[in-house]
Amino acid sequence: MNGPLSQSIPVFFLVPVLLASAVGGRGAGVLVSCAALPVWDWFFIQPLYTVTIASPRDVTTLVVFLVAALLVGQLSTVARRRTEEALRRAASTEALYELSMALIAGRNQDMVLPVLTQRLREAFDLQASAVLLPTPDGTGWRTVASAGKLPADLRIEMSRSLAATVGQVQRRGVRTGLRTARPGSE
């Protein structure tokens, strides 16, 4: 095909390659670029209606399409991850802000803690969460609010080892880690 736009036609095929890469990632961009080159060759390179990817120009075009697809796909993947991370941070910051405002406001804890426990569970994408307070006599612990389904071995009222760990933390003032519940141990 000869004419004023004949040398620019590959640029028009680059648009779907870039869009596919931006929306679908690297794989989609590579797929569209591999499909664009034969279509371009079929309709716009002499002899028409045959695929003859033999000239160095055609191979160079395919390489450019693939490189553009990979770069845009990688950039869109990184941008997507950063957006998700920023949204998670915003949700956790919002949950912590709500918690601090509710605690500062000094509302009735029986009303505030269940709502905040649920909000924290959602913000941090937890299976369950709970707030523990010492018993009135100070000899043990009790769950005052919970959200989600706590496994039995992580319920303070049912687990002596958990109660001992929490008591140890209170006495020593040292943080400790609790093991995560095994799948199916509920």
* pLDDT tens-digit readout, 134-174: 888 877 788 888 899 888 777 887 777 777 877 777 777 76
Q: Does pTM top 0.75 for this prediction?
A: no
Q: In this structure, which amino acid lies at residue 12?
A: F
CB 33 within 8 A of CB 16: no
From its phi and psi, is residue 107 left (phi > 0), alpha (psi between -120 and 50) or beta? beta
pLDDT of residue 183: 47
Q: For residues 28-52, give the mean pLDDT.
A: 80
Q: What are phi and psi of 174, to 5 degrees?
A: -110, 135
- The more confident residue out of 87 and 152 is 87
CB 91 within 8 A of CB 123: yes
Q: Confidence band (pLDDT; 50, 70, 90) for 83?
A: very high
